[in-house]
Chains A and B, each alone.
Chain A
C-alpha cells in the first residue's frame, strides 16, 4: 500500500530531515510512527500528502509512484488519503455536518452524494446526534472526531493521523484511538504519527521508530521504546 525506497529529504541549505528511509506498509495495517521532535515524522507525512517533494528516492501509494507528482495530480492523491492533524482545522462558522460536507463540496460531489455520505461518516465517529453543533459547542475529542469524519468523506484507503491526540486529555485520546481502530477494522490503512507513549502501548500494533530521519526499530506488535 505504502512503499518508500531510500527516501532522503534535505531542506536547504543542508538540513537532512529524512535519510535513505525505506519502509513498507501493507493494506489494512495500523502503523504507529513514533519518534522525538525533529526526527522526520512530520516530513514523512508531508511527503505522503505531496506537500513536500523528496530530494532523492521513490514513494509509492497503492502502486502509484508519487515521487514526482504534478501539481494537477496532487488533489487526486489527497482525495485518496484522509488527513487528521493535531490542530483540528475545522471552520468555526460551519456546523459539524457542514464541515464534513465542505470536503465533498470542494471536490465537486453532488448534493445527493453529500446527503448520503455525511450522516454515514458522522455515525462512524459517533457524532450522529451532534451534526448541527458548531465546533465551539463541541469538546476537543468531538472536534477531532469531526475531523476524522471529514477525512473519511472521500472513502480513503489510507488515513494519516499526525499527532491527533496532541491537544486532547487521556480520555478523549483513547476515544480517538478507538475511532481509528474502528475505521481500521473496515480495512482502511491507518498511519498514526505520535509521541504519545500510552496510546502506542495500548494499541499493541506495528510500531516504527524514527531517529535522525532513519528507522531505528520496526516491530509488528511493538511498544514505544525510545
Chain B
C-alpha cells in the first residue's frame, strides 16, 4: 500500500518535471482565482472593520424639548432600553446638557453671558442610543416616531450616518460582486487548463501507461499519479499564493492605517488569526477543483 503510494508519488513528480512548462502555466492559472479569493476575503475584512468602526461611532441622538422634565425623558429611555435592537442608552439630564454646553464654550464669555441672561435652563435632556447592529437603527427611529414620544422630542438625528453606511455597503457589495465574478471566470479557466494539462500529461506518458497496463499495474496505480499531480499543482499554487498575499499585506497595511484614520483595519492580524480557516479552506477548494478536473480528464482520455 505504502510502497505503491510512494511509487505513484514518484511517477507524479516525474510527470510534473517532464511537462514543466505546462505545469508552471497550470499553476499560474490556479494562482489567479486563489489571489482573487484572497482579495475578496481582504475586502470582506475591511468592510467589517469599517462598519464596526462606524457602528461604534454611530448613535441616535434624541433631543427633548426644553419643557420636558428629566423624569419624562427617563421614561422614554426606559421604554427604548426594552427594545431588543438597543444595546445601550446614555442619558444626559437638562442640567447635564447645560453643564456640557458651558464647558464646551468656557472660552467664549459672550455666549456664557447671554446664557446667564436667560431665566431658565434652555436645554432639554438628551439620549444617545446605540443599537446592537447598524441595521437596527431604522427600527429604533421608527419607534421614536410614535406620537407618544414625538410630542416630547425636539429633534433626533441619524440620517447622515445612515447615508454613509448605505454608501459603504453599496460600494462593498458592488466590489464583492465584481470580485466573485472575476474569481468564477478564473476558476472556470483554471478547470479547463487543468483538464488540458492532464490530457497532455496522459498523452506524453502513453508509452508508460501502455507498459503499465501490459505488465499488470492496477487501474488505480495508473490513475493515481495523475491525481497526485493535480494535488501537487494545488499545493504549489497555494504556496505561491501565500508568497504573494503576505508581502502584499505587509505592503498595504500602513496605507490602510492612514486611509481609515481612527478605524482599526488590521488585515495582517485578520489573516494571521484566521490562517487555517482561510488558507486551509482555499487549499481544500482548489485541491477539490483540480482533482475533479483531473478525474474528468482521466475518464475522458485515459483508457485503463
Residues of A within 8 A of B (CB): 49, 71-72, 75-79, 83, 89, 91, 102-103, 105-111, 150, 153-154
- What's the nearest-Cβ distance from chain A to residue B9, in Å? 12
Q: Which residues of A contact B208 (CB under 8 A)?
A: 91, 102
Chain A binder among B136-144, B213-221, B254-262: B213-221
B210 lies within 8 A of A78 (CB):
no
* Cβ < 8 Å to A, chain B residues 274-304: 304
Interface string of B197-210 (1 = CB under 8 A from A): 00000000001101
- What's the nearest-Cβ distance from chain B to residue A171, in Å? 27
Q: CB within 8 A of B207: which of A72, A83, A89, A153?
A: A89
Q: Across the two chains, which residue of chain B brings its CB closest to A111? A: B3
With contact pairs A91-B208, A106-B7, A108-B4 given, residues A150 and B216 touching in the complex (Cβ less than 8 Å): no
Size range of the chain B interface in the assembly: 10 to 19
Q: CB within 8 A of B214: which of A76, A83, A109, A110?
A: A83
B219 lies within 8 A of A78 (CB):
no
- What's the nearest-Cβ distance from chain A to residue B56, in Å? 63
With contact pairs A89-B210, A91-B207 given, residues A78 and B3 touching in the complex (Cβ less than 8 Å): no
State whether the Cβ of B211 lies closer than 8 Å to any Cβ in chain A: yes
With contact pairs A71-B219, A78-B216, A106-B217 given, residues A89 and B211 touching in the complex (Cβ less than 8 Å): yes
What are the 6 closest A-B residue pairs judged by CB atoms, nearest first?
A: A78-B216, A79-B216, A106-B217, A103-B215, A75-B216, A108-B4
A78 lies within 8 A of B211 (CB):
no
- What's the nearest-Cβ distance from chain B to residue A162, in Å? 11
Q: Which residues of A contact B212 (CB under 8 A)?
A: 106
Cα(A153)–Cα(B7), bound, Å? 18
Cα(A109)–Cα(B218), bound, Å? 13
Q: Across the two chains, which residue of chain A brings its CB closest to B8? A: A106
- What's the nearest-Cβ distance from chain A to residue B247, in Å? 39
* Cβ < 8 Å to A, chain B residues 205-252: 207-208, 210-219, 221
- What's the nearest-Cβ distance from chain A to residue B67, in Å? 92
Cα(A25)–Cα(B214), bound, Å? 22
- What's the nearest-Cβ distance from chain B to residue A61, in Å? 14
Q: Across the two chains, which residue of chain B brings its CB closest to A106? A: B217
- What's the nearest-Cβ distance from chain A to residue B232, in Å? 20
A76 lies within 8 A of B216 (CB):
yes
Cα(A154)–Cα(B210), bound, Å? 17
Q: Across the two chains, which residue of chain B brings its CB closest to A82? A: B215
Q: Which residues of B contact A110 (CB under 8 A)?
A: 3
Q: Which residues of B contact A49 (CB under 8 A)?
A: 214
Task: Summarize B's interface: helix, strand, loop or mixed.
Answer: helix
Q: Across the two chains, which residue of chain B brings its CB closest to A108? A: B4
B219 lies within 8 A of A75 (CB):
yes
Residues of B within 8 A of A (CB): 3-4, 7, 207-208, 210-219, 221, 304
Q: CB within 8 A of B221: which of A76, A91, A103, A106?
A: A106
Q: Across the two chains, which residue of chain B brings its CB closest to A78? A: B216
Cα(A105)–Cα(B7), bound, Å? 7
With contact pairs A106-B221, A108-B4 given, residues A154 and B207 touching in the complex (Cβ less than 8 Å): no
Cα(A91)–Cα(B216), bound, Å? 16
Q: Which residues of B contact A77 (CB under 8 A)?
A: 216
Cα(A49)–Cα(B213), bound, Å? 10
Q: Across the two chains, which residue of chain A brings its CB closest to B215? A: A103
Q: Which residues of A contact B217 (CB under 8 A)?
A: 75, 106-107
Q: Which residues of A contact B207 (CB under 8 A)?
A: 89, 91
Q: Which residues of A contact B4 (CB under 8 A)?
A: 108
Cα(A76)–Cα(B208), bound, Å? 18
Q: Across the two chains, which residue of chain B brings its CB closest to A153? A: B215
- What's the nearest-Cβ distance from chain B to residue A112, in Å? 11
B211 lies within 8 A of A102 (CB):
yes
Cα(A111)–Cα(B4), bound, Å? 11
Q: Which residues of B contact A78 (CB under 8 A)?
A: 213-216
Cα(A71)–Cα(B216), bound, Å? 11
20 contacts between A and B (CB under 8 A): A72-B218, A75-B216, A76-B216, A77-B216, A78-B215, A79-B215, A83-B214, A89-B211, A91-B207, A91-B208, A102-B211, A102-B215, A103-B215, A106-B212, A106-B215, A106-B221, A107-B217, A108-B3, A108-B4, A108-B7
Q: Across the two chains, which residue of chain A brings its CB closest to B211? A: A89
- What's the nearest-Cβ distance from chain A to residue B201, in Å? 15
Residue among B215, B219, B304 with the most chain A CB within 10 A?
A: B215
